Structure 1
Amino acid sequence: MKKDLHPTYNEVTIQLADGTEFVTRSTMDRDTYASEVDSTNHPFYTGRRQFVDTAGRVEKFNRRYGITDDSDDDEDDDA
């Protein structure tokens, strides 16, 4: 095998959002890692759902790209 091919494998202390800590091994170059999301606060595990305002996202997309909402009402008035 080639020398210096693989990254170093160090012990890292992981701190979860609820304050619990555990030690594992990783290739990260730090001694500690603070996680913002874990099983105590992630919606998949807690069952709490977040509803996304899709209409607001569509409007934001249309504003960003200058798309106007030309509705079909003009065609109905001509008939």
Structure 2
Amino acid sequence: MPKKGIHPKWISNTRISCDDKLICLINSTKPNLNIDIWLGNHPFYTNSQKIIDTEGRVEKFLKKYQLDFNN
């Protein structure tokens, strides 16, 4: 049996939200949880990911490991 008075209060139906949109409800020790990124707005999962080549790093990597992805 857990000791009384040492555990945080357990809250049912904690709201998880992102950009003020409700994502889901869970049980937690906090009444509300705000997140910045989740599956619905992450660039990898929404196919809006952009690969930025700064200062020729991709070419440098390909040359270093003698790789050719043009074929």
Q: TM-score, normalised by structure 1?
A: 0.44
Which has the higher Rg, Structure 1 or Structure 2?
1
* Greater percentage in helix: 1
